[in-house]
Structure formats: structure tokens, C-alpha cells
Amino acid sequence: MGTAPASLAVIAARVDRRLRDLLESEIARWTALDPELTAPLESLATLVLSGGKRLRPAFCHWGWVGSGGDPDDPVVADAGAAFELLHAFALVHDDVMDGSDTRRGARTAHLDHAARHAVSGWRGEARRYGEGVAILIGDLAFVYADQCLGGANAEAQSVWNELRIELNIGQYLDVVGTARGQTNQAAAERIARYKSGKYTVERPLHLGAALAGRFGELAPELSAYGLPLGDAFQLRDDMLGAFGDSVLTGKPVGDDLREGKPTPMLAIAASRAGKQHAELLDRVGAPDLGEDEVAALQAVLVDTGAQAEIEATITALTDQAVMAIARADIVPVAREELTALAYFVAWRDR
């Protein structure tokens, strides 16, 4: 199990203060116009402030510090807040697209607002109302993320724009891959990189360097660390989605199997499956997948060697990232912290 570096909590506290100040101010401002506006804004605040590892702010922070930036400069806390709001946008929309029931151990925004509609006896369909409100909550998060980066230099804005495009491209590939029941390993790896890996590790590092005016100089060295570690991050996410403890992850065990996510682990299992295994794998993506079937599919992932191969790949990718950052021309404390973060990201349990 990876141990979180002590610096992660320090960075998280600064970002949380920035987020709380912004969201409390916005709730007060818009509630004064119409009390009805409290509901969506409080939903956003609850999600954003309910936890999360704050990894993206941490990678941005160390990209900034590694490039010579002052760790106490508020610009890097603003950037960290922007990442958390962008992440909230992605989570809320992702939950609508996947039809997820829970997020961080609580009911998802679209179900929460659908229940409010139903209890109130309002007109129309509760499901459509809940999904519509959730989409708007995500859109608000997207706008607030941009607002946090309003004072960034042109190079940082360019990096920010590119990472937002990449995130949406990856999300589309995930949606279409799920719909097709895709089991191609190369495609699954591409989805993992663009939907999550790049915007979790590489691009936050890039943004930190760009804010410090050293993106052009340091981008290749940061990518040599960020790309393999981002891939390892998403592979661990896939592992937790199939085998994780629901108490720790905040989502039901085997949720990714019910949703039919096109992961590299499933692609490996499908390529090695015999007839009996293949019949079980055909059930991936069935929303009514029972606990016994989830357990059987987990056994397939183990029996085909897919789980073991993914674990070995995570180890190899993490080692590659650590060796790359050891050679990077960055401030020594950032190198040390990024090494510690690499091991935490690769072997976290949530």
C-alpha cells in the first residue's frame, strides 16, 4: 500500500481554503438573487469539499516548485483549485453518462436531484430533471475552474486549454468503447491515457512549469515522468474498479465491470479467455451483474493472468517514472517529493 507524502496534506489544505472561499462566496451571491440557486451550488461545494486525494494540485505544485516557483505564491493554489473544479466537472458528467449511484460514498448528484424532484411532486420526469441539473452543476464547475486561472500567463492558458480538450476526447473514447464492448488492448490503453493519465500527472506538471515560465525547457523531462506514471495511475484505478474495497473507494465492488469499462486488464483477459471464460466476459457491462457474477469475473481476471500482468506493468511504469525524474533538471526538493508521490499513486488503495 502506498503511503501519502506529508506534503500532500499541506498542499490540499491550501487548495481547500481557496475552494471554500470561492464556493461560499458564490453560494452567498447567488442565493441573494434566488434561494433556489442554493441547491446546485451546494451540491458542487459538497462534492468538491468532501475529500479527494488532491493529486492534480500536488503535481501542479511540484511542477511549479521544481521550476523555481515560490511554494507560498497563491498562483499555484489557484491552479490547484482549478484542477479540483475541473475534476468535479468530469466526475459529475461521468456519473450521468455511466448511470452511477454513488460517488465518494454518497449519492451522485443526478440521483440526489432526481429524488428532490420526485419528493416535491414537480412536473416532468424526475430522472431527466436530475440529469439536467447534474450537467449544469458540472458546467458551473468548468466555468469556475477557468475563473481560478484567469490571471495565468499565455503559455499556461495554452497548456490548460489543451488538457481540457484531451480530457473530453478521452471521455468520448471511453463512452464509445463501452458502448461497443471494446476489448482491444491498444485502444483501452489510449482511453486510459487521455481520459485520466495525462490530466492527472503530466498536464498538472506542465501547467506548473508553464506558470513558472519554464514549460518549453522542462516539458520533455516532466513528460518522461508524467506519462508512465499517469498510465500507472489509471491502471491502479482499473484495478480498484474491479477488485477495490467499496468502503475505501466509495463505489460498489465491481462497478467498472457492471459499466463495461474498456480497460487494458479486461482486454488482456479477453485475449486469453477460453470458452467458459469468454461466456462470463460476455456479461461485462450488464447493469444487473450480481455479486456472484462479479466474483466469477474477478476469478477470470486472476486465472487468465490479467491481474498479475497489470500489477507487473504498474511496477515497471512506476520504476520508469522514478528513473526519469531522478535525471530531470528541477529543484531537488521537487524531485524527492515527486518520487514519493509516484509510489503513493501506484500503490494506493482508494
For residue 183, what is its C-alpha cell?
476489448
Pick the closest to residue 221 from 67, 9, 33, 19 (CA basis): 67
Label residue 105 left, alpha or beta by phi (over 0 means left) and psi (-120 to 50 means alpha).
Answer: left
Rounded CA separation 313/42 (Å)? 40
The pLDDT tens digits for 103-143 are 888 999 999 999 999 999 999 999 999 999 999 999 999 99
Q: CB–CB of 84/57 below 8 Å?
A: yes
Long-range contact set of residues 304-308: C-beta below 8 Å, sequence gap at least 24: 304/268, 304/269, 304/272, 304/273, 304/277, 305/268, 305/272, 306/265, 306/266, 306/268, 306/269, 306/272, 307/239, 307/243, 307/265
Per the CATH hierarchy, to which homologous superfamily does domain 6-346 belong?
A: Farnesyl Diphosphate Synthase (1.10.600.10)
Q: In which residue are the cell numbers 500527472 written?
A: 201
Residue 107's H or E segment, with its range, is: strand 106-107
Rounded CA separation 40/325 (Å)? 41
Amino acid at 103: R
The pLDDT tens digits for 46-57 are 999 998 899 999
Q: CB–CB of 166/102 below 8 Å?
A: no
| DSSP H helical ranges for the chain | 6-33, 38-48, 55-66, 74-98, 109-120, 126-148, 154-180, 185-192, 203-211, 215-243, 246-249, 255-259, 264-272, 275-281, 291-303, 306-327, 332-346
Complete DSSP assignment for 305-323:
THHHHHHHHHHHHHHHHHH
Residue 156: predicted pLDDT: 98
Residue 250: predicted pLDDT: 66
* The model's pTM: 0.94
The pLDDT tens digits for 251-278 are 777 878 888 888 999 999 999 988 888 8
The pLDDT tens digits for 182-228 are 888 999 899 989 988 899 999 999 999 999 999 999 999 999 999 99
The residues pairing with 107 across neighbouring beta strands, listed in sequence order, are 102
**In which band, very low, low, confident or very high, does the pLDDT at 249 lie, cut at 50, 70 and 90?**
low
- Delimit the domains of the chain by residue range: 6-346
Q: CB–CB of 304/267 below 8 Å?
A: no
Residue 1: predicted pLDDT: 57
Complete DSSP assignment for 254-290:
THHHHHT---HHHHHHHHH--HHHHHHHTTTT-TT--
HSE-CB at 282 with a 13 A cutoff on CA atoms is: 6
